[in-house]
Homo-oligomer: A and B are copies of this chain.
Amino acid sequence: MYSFQPDEEQQMLIDVTRRLAANDLRPAAHEAEEHGEIPVSLVAKGWELGVLQASIPAEFGGFGERSALTSVLALEELAYGDLAGALAMMVPGLFAIPVLTAGTEEQKSTYLPAIAEGAWTPWSAALIEYQFDFDPQDLHTIARPDGGDYLISGEKRLVPFATEAKTMLVYANLDGQTQAFIVDAKADGVTVGEREQLMGINALPLYSIHLDSVRIPKANRLGGEAGHDFGALLSAMRIGISAAAIGVARASFEYARDYAKEREVLGSMIAQKQSIAFMLAEMATEIEATRLMIWEAAWLLDQDNPDAERAAYLAYSGAVDMAMMVTDRGVQILGGHGYIREHPVELWMRNGRGIASLTGLAIV
């Protein structure tokens, strides 16, 4: 039977993440963005909610089962507070979720307890490359077998916390297929480059990484010798960034809605003008339509349903456009006030446009 009602546990998670978003993430967002730095204590506080830990089974140090759908609910709430902060809090998941869902037993027991049981630590992942037509399924970073190992060469961009991370997943092209490899950040041939300067999410420290014939032991290929199904991981990434997009869009919608109800012009509130009211109605409708697509894709992923991949792709495609439309209108409704950095809508618009380029920075 269909149902659109989160269960009790999910509702609890929604409630706590929503509180953190409102009380901690949102108030810190402006300063964090302007200074390009997110307070360590904030990230730690987010980590302590245990969103990721709840996805990791007890045998690996966590206390639950992975549910993409549950993570979607949490991510929306966190990103509603602040996109950069939400991504920062969830960074260890970029390493943990692929290991959990596609790793060998050995990989799981090596890494997951360390992640789940400790404080927040930057376990990272490197997917994105600077191609205008960047395609996660057709990477330019190349892995080739060499002796019993793999050699990886290429240039990765937007790698979170790369200067701090000790271990990360690097996605590379192995015979035309994208595969993830567990890479020691100190390995020969790995050079961390400059801090990335982007239009938005500047509070999240991102770096370029150069890989020059980095030797990877065979055992460090995700899933071992047989490798893994990258399609499922990509779907989880697309769903993740889409869920974050919903949070950003909802933030912008609500802020613009409240502003429009308080902004008087010629004796009535601007929300009482059909043009503004209809924009708001369309924003809310698109947010909800896209949210349901994302929920369905996550649900399908959780069911290992073969339709999950297409559903995730469609949902992400919708989330990209929805986020841009909604956050642009958020600025438009505030008018001149939307253009100044005192109000958060301009940041959300910058972050909104980022959804198109940030696949790989979130996963569920």
User: Is residue A41 contacting chain B, with contact meaning CB distance below 8 A?
Assistant: no
User: Is residue A274 contacting chain B, with contact meaning CB distance below 8 A?
Assistant: yes
* Docked CA distance A278–B275 (Å): 8
In chain B, what residue has the closest Cβ to A275?
B274
A278 / chain B contacts, CB cutoff of 8 Å? 274-275
* Docked CA distance A197–B275 (Å): 41
User: Is residue A261 contacting chain B, with contact meaning CB distance below 8 A?
Assistant: no
User: Is residue A186 contacting chain B, with contact meaning CB distance below 8 A?
Assistant: no
A256-293 contacts to B, CB under 8 A, are 273-275, 278
A273 / chain B contacts, CB cutoff of 8 Å? 274
The minimal Cβ–Cβ distance linking A283 to chain B, given in whole angstroms, is 15
* Docked CA distance A273–B273 (Å): 9
Q: How many residues of A contact B (CB 8 A)?
A: 4
The minimal Cβ–Cβ distance linking A278 to chain B, given in whole angstroms, is 6
A296-346 contacts to B, CB under 8 A, are none
The minimal Cβ–Cβ distance linking A111 to chain B, given in whole angstroms, is 51
* Docked CA distance A356–B274 (Å): 33
In chain B, what residue has the closest Cβ to A278?
B275
* Docked CA distance A274–B274 (Å): 6
The minimal Cβ–Cβ distance linking A285 to chain B, given in whole angstroms, is 15
A140-171 vs B, CB cutoff 8 Å, 1 = contact: the mask equals 00000000000000000000000000000000
A275 / chain B contacts, CB cutoff of 8 Å? 274-275, 278
6 nearest A-B pairs in the assembled complex, by CB-CB distance:
A274-B274, A274-B275, A275-B278, A273-B274, A275-B275, A274-B278
The minimal Cβ–Cβ distance linking A301 to chain B, given in whole angstroms, is 35
* Docked CA distance A278–B274 (Å): 10
In chain B, what residue has the closest Cβ to A273?
B274
In chain B, what residue has the closest Cβ to A276?
B274
The minimal Cβ–Cβ distance linking A175 to chain B, given in whole angstroms, is 35
* Docked CA distance A273–B277 (Å): 12
Name the residue among A273, A274, A278 with the largest chain B CB count within 10 angstroms: A274
The minimal Cβ–Cβ distance linking A204 to chain B, given in whole angstroms, is 39
The minimal Cβ–Cβ distance linking A265 to chain B, given in whole angstroms, is 13
What are 5 contact pairs spanning A and B, CB under 8 A? A273-B274, A274-B275, A274-B278, A275-B275, A275-B278
The minimal Cβ–Cβ distance linking A179 to chain B, given in whole angstroms, is 38
* Docked CA distance A68–B275 (Å): 40
A274 / chain B contacts, CB cutoff of 8 Å? 273-275, 278
The minimal Cβ–Cβ distance linking A274 to chain B, given in whole angstroms, is 4
* Docked CA distance A320–B183 (Å): 53
* Docked CA distance A273–B276 (Å): 12
* Docked CA distance A275–B278 (Å): 8
A36-54 contacts to B, CB under 8 A, are none
A12-25 vs B, CB cutoff 8 Å, 1 = contact: the mask equals 00000000000000
The minimal Cβ–Cβ distance linking A280 to chain B, given in whole angstroms, is 13
* Docked CA distance A274–B276 (Å): 9
* Docked CA distance A275–B280 (Å): 13
* Docked CA distance A275–B279 (Å): 10
* Docked CA distance A273–B272 (Å): 11
The minimal Cβ–Cβ distance linking A92 to chain B, given in whole angstroms, is 47
* Docked CA distance A89–B353 (Å): 50
* Docked CA distance A278–B273 (Å): 12
* Docked CA distance A275–B273 (Å): 9
